Amino acid sequence: MSDSRVRDVAITDNEPTFGLMDGRTISVPLAWYPRLAEATTAQRADWQIVGGGYGIHWPQIDEDVSTEGTLRGARAPLG
């Protein structure tokens, strides 16, 4: 049984990587999330697991990413 809740988050200059409870790792292009791409290293490091474990929130930049959306290949909305 898969468990797509977030275990941890790491962000490089090129991609955010989300470690899931079931051992999977999701990496996508940082360009999918413009607020994260423009954020400082400190802002990127300030994240919280939300939504029962199925989402990540960056309070300093008001960005939210869900594991469901990321697994579907959904990018941040433009605008």
Q: 79 falls in which pLDDT band (50, 70, 90)? A: low
The pTM of the full predicted model, rounded to 2 decimals, is: 0.89
Over the stretch 23-45, which tens digit does the pLDDT of each residue have? 999 999 999 999 999 999 999 99
Average pLDDT over residues 1-9: 92
Domain ranges of the chain: 6-72
- What mean pLDDT is reported for the chain? 93
- Of 18, 15, 11, 2, which is closest to residue 50 (Cα–Cα)? 18
Spelled out in words, what is the top-level CATH class assigned to the domain 6-72? alpha beta
Helices (H) and strands (E) in the chain, counts: 3, 6
pLDDT recorded at residue 77? 79
- CA–CA gap between residue 22 and residue 5 (Å, rounded): 8
Q: Which DSSP letter does residue 62 get? A: T
